[in-house]
Amino acid sequence: MEFNVFGKLSDEELLRRMKAGDAAAFEKLYDRRQPSVYRFALRMSGSSAFAEDISQDVFMALMRDAHQFDESRGTVASYLFGITRHRVLRRLERERTFVSITNQDEDDDSSVDEMLFSTEHHPLQVLARQEMIAAVQQAVLSLPPHYREVVVLCNLEEMNYEQAAQSIGCPVGTVRSRLNRARAMLVEKLRTTQDASVQIKTQAPQRSEL
């Protein structure tokens, strides 16, 4: 019953209660805001382990520094996004070589299996879709972080340019130009991947013929 009451409260009110030591308010705020924090980290890194670490880190920081939140400067959601973005970029910078989609692949396998054995989807379609998702994900992950984040915000989180600019803290024109450049890079990478896979497919029968 108490939890239902929290559902109607704003993030700011929940944070206020959280600062007073209310664990239920913290739980509600976590349930409400954790998915977006986790998703952003996951889409930026391609690793669920990375995303979980970041989620934990962000909410620990919220617990510790909740008093630093200033309502006049923005919403709790944007405050949390700011912390998340800062931590994700810092960690990506620290782990430049870190490109792992293993956990995500593991997660996806179950959904792929479900789709393969369901009657609604044709198995080949499912596999082709998975292949495409993997290729796009690889291409997104290979972008430099500042280009990657505009793709994640505008194309995956479906924010408009103004919202993305506000989140990143840069002019709308910068978001537009970065997105344009990022999309051009993605097209180029996907084309390269496509060419490589076509080449492999055409070479395979030739080898078998030999």
122 is an interface residue for another protein by CB under 8 A: no
Stretch that binds another protein, among 2-10, 85-93, 103-111, 201-209 (CB under 8 A): 103-111
70/48 Cα distance (integer angstroms): 31
69/77 Cα distance (integer angstroms): 11
106 is an interface residue for another protein by CB under 8 A: no
What b/e string do you get for 144-179 counting C-beta neighbours within 10 Å, with b at 16 or more? eeebbbbbbbbbebebebebbbbbbeeeeebbeebb
12 is an interface residue for another protein by CB under 8 A: no
Single-letter amino acid code for the residue at 138: Q
108 is an interface residue for another protein by CB under 8 A: yes
CB-CB neighbours of 52 under 10 Å = 14
Structure tokens, 195 = 């060419």
CA-CA-CA-CA torsion sign (53, 77, 83, 67) = negative
Among 34, 100, 166, 174, binds another protein (CB under 8 A): 34
Single-letter amino acid code for the residue at 134: A
Size of the site for another protein (CB under 8 A): 49
Enumerate residues 155-194 that contact another protein by CB under 8 A: 155-158, 176, 179-180, 183, 186-187, 190-191
Enumerate residues 188-207 that contact another protein by CB under 8 A: 190-191
Among 19, 32, 91, 146, binds another protein (CB under 8 A): 19
65/152 Cα distance (integer angstroms): 27
**Cβ-based nearer residue to another protein, 89 or 190:** 190
Q: Site residues (CB under 8 A) for another protein? A: 18-19, 21, 23, 26-27, 30-31, 34-35, 38-39, 42-43, 48, 51-52, 55-56, 59-60, 63-64, 66-67, 104, 107-108, 111, 129, 132-133, 135-137, 140, 151, 155-158, 176, 179-180, 183, 186-187, 190-191
